[in-house]
Amino acid sequence: MSATTDSPRGRLAAQLAEAVAEALRADLATQERALLVVSGGSTPVPFFQALAACELPWSRIDVTLADERWVPESSADSNARLVREHLLQGAASRAHFVSLTTADATPEQGVGEVTGRLEGLAWPASVVILGMGGDGHTASLFPDSRELDLALATAEPLVAVRTPSQPQARITLSADRLHQARRHVLHITGEDKRAVFARALSGDDTRELPIRAFLACPLAIYWAP
Ligand SMILES: O=C1O[C@H](COP(=O)(O)O)[C@@H](O)[C@H](O)[C@H]1O
């Protein structure tokens, strides 16, 4: 979804972009490379556009995703495509993007290769930006994922997930790997998601609302109507 800069969602995206840019600059003052983990879906588009316009030493920044649908980048459902089209533009195209997919037919087959890519990055990430769906999922940690318990408990960085409510197989960073960041942000919009997040705050069953796995990170909330 696009948002003009004078709309609440546009202003939220601009504020988040400035905060993320500041975090990257701060980390790059003391380390050679910095890692940014972003989410897919519709919410981050205006944030990606605002961040792409920020002055940063982009060639020293690695960008990867919290999760991905197991589809080719030519698919409209590809989170990598979203990042390439809206974030890796202009000067930001000099960032090094690490995709979570391979040419393999399934995420189970590709998970080893993608794990190798992730292990070459500068963990802990400077920032992990999470989204959240109306079912309380974040990354591809869905309440109905068969592999949810594994993804919440494993020390491996990635899990291939099969989720009855979703049309495609997916690959997701595990909760453990998503925790490996200096800063965590939840970027959500709309009354429906505000209500889901309020529900998440009032209980503790992570299997019911997987976003609960990140409430103690601490998590900076960026929300607009
Ligand atoms: O499927 C996904 O959904 C969530 C939320 O997406 P949104 O469209 O409601 O913003 C996202 O955070 C995740 O990365 C994505 O794969």
Concatenate the DSSP letters of all residues of 78-136 into one string.
Answer: -HHHHHHHHTS-GGGGGSEEE-S--SSSSHHHHHHHHHHHHHTS-SSEEEEEE---TTS
Distance between Cα 31 and ligand 1 center (Å): 30
Ligand 1, atom 2, lies closest to the CA of 41
Is pTM beyond 0.95? Reply is yes
**What is the pLDDT at residue 4?**
74
- Specify if 39 maps to a domain: yes
Domain that holds residue 213: 8-131+146-223
Nearest to 69 by CA among 61, 77, 57: 77
The CATH number of residue 160's host domain is 3.40.50.1360
- Specify if 2 maps to a domain: no
Total domains in the chain come to 1
Pocket of ligand 1 (CB under 6 A): 39-43, 66-67, 79, 131, 133, 139-140
- Specify if 1 maps to a domain: no
- Specify if 97 maps to a domain: yes
Give ipTM to 2 decimals.
0.96
Q: What percent of the chain has pLDDT over 90?
A: 97
Distance between Cα 206 and ligand 1 center (Å): 18
- Specify if 53 maps to a domain: yes
- Specify if 168 maps to a domain: yes
Using one digit for the tens of pLDDT, what is the confidence trace for 36-81?
Answer: 999 999 999 999 999 999 999 999 999 999 999 999 999 999 999 9
